[in-house]
Amino acid sequence: MAIIECEDITVRHPHAPTPAVSGLSTFVEQGEWLNIVGPNGCGKSTLLHAFAQVLSLESGRLKMGEGDVEKHFAFGLKAAKQRRFFARTVALMPQNPTIPAGLSVFDYVLLGRHPHSYAPGRADDEIVKRCLADLKLEHFSDRGLDELSGGERQRVSLARALAQEPRIVLLDEPTSALDIGHAQETLELIDAIRHRLGLTVIAAMHDLTLTAQYGDRVLMMNGGRKVFEGTAAEVLTAQRISEIYDARVIVEVIDGRPVVIPQRSH
């Protein structure tokens, strides 16, 4: 069953002269992992922000979970209630999260519980502790967010999104600040949670080899448009990567999954 249905959507940033995403259609099954790839500025974050209803649609139709996203763009008490409901369905891990000054790691991750509890209690604390433990962040619990490395902060941001216990998680370059070990560990954890809870995962990714290792399908974008969609083996060919990214690469296929190796020019 499709949990996301996206028909011909166009998204424009406020005051931008042209749309950042144009005429894009796709669907995502419940429990599926879709990776979005494409060069800098092609519209990956914009698409995730439209899925998260941070940006509204200029045109097209988008269904997330049970409801049409556009219906949530109202104001007042009813809209606030709808937003809380939506936040129990969809969590966004942004590329550059806004980190409130002076907040501890524990309290930041606890923010993820707000769509579930107006006044988070002991059960919420336990969920936060579990998410911190899953990401091996327990010992940072009392630390200030501004006292963490970039990679640690990125894992804390993921912990907050997971503490939200959403049905759909939108990850904007979730491993961009992580070393290879933490990147693998983090993606394995997301995959384990996906299988355990039927979580649907949409991730914007730059590392094409990791993209091929994790996820069921790949959507490749360029210039705000979808250019290819399919399995990693179908989408991530050397010719396509060189055309879209203007890159020199060799692609080896190991165990059915492409491994992308950059080549220097001389």
Ligand X SMILES: Nc1ncnc2c1ncn2[C@@H]1O[C@H](COP(=O)(O)OP(=O)(O)OP(=O)(O)O)[C@@H](O)[C@H]1O
| Contact status: 16 vs ligand X (CB under 6 A) | yes
Pairing mode, strands 249-254 and 90-93: unpaired
CB neighbours (10 Å) of residue 227? 15
Please report, for residues 31, 109, 169, 258, the alpha-carbon distance to residue 81 in angstroms, rounded to integers and kept in the order given.
Answer: 26, 21, 20, 44
Cβ 234 to ligand X shortest distance, Å:
21
**How many residues line the site for ligand X (CB under 6 A)?**
12
Look up residue 112 and give its two tokens.
């993820």
| Contact status: 226 vs ligand X (CB under 6 A) | no
In the shown chain, the binding pattern of residues 28 to 47 toward ligand X, with x for contact by CB under 6 A and - for none, equals ----------x-xxxxxxx-
Residue that has been written with the tokens 């949409």 in this structure: 202
Look up residue 177 and give its two tokens.
């600040």
Instruction: Give the nearer residue to ligand X in terms of CB position, either 19 or 115.
Output: 19
Torsion of CA 235, 196, 162, 221, to 10 degrees: 10
Q: Tell which residue, 105, 115, 47, has the closest CA to residue 81.
A: 115
| Contact status: 232 vs ligand X (CB under 6 A) | no
Q: List the one residue from 3, 6, 9, 20 that touches ligand X (CB under 6 A).
A: 20
In the shown chain, the binding pattern of residues 145 to 184 toward ligand X, with x for contact by CB under 6 A and - for none, equals ----------------------------------------
Cβ 51 to ligand X shortest distance, Å:
12
Question: Which residues here bind ligand X, judged by CB under 6 A?
Answer: 13, 16, 20, 38, 40-46, 204
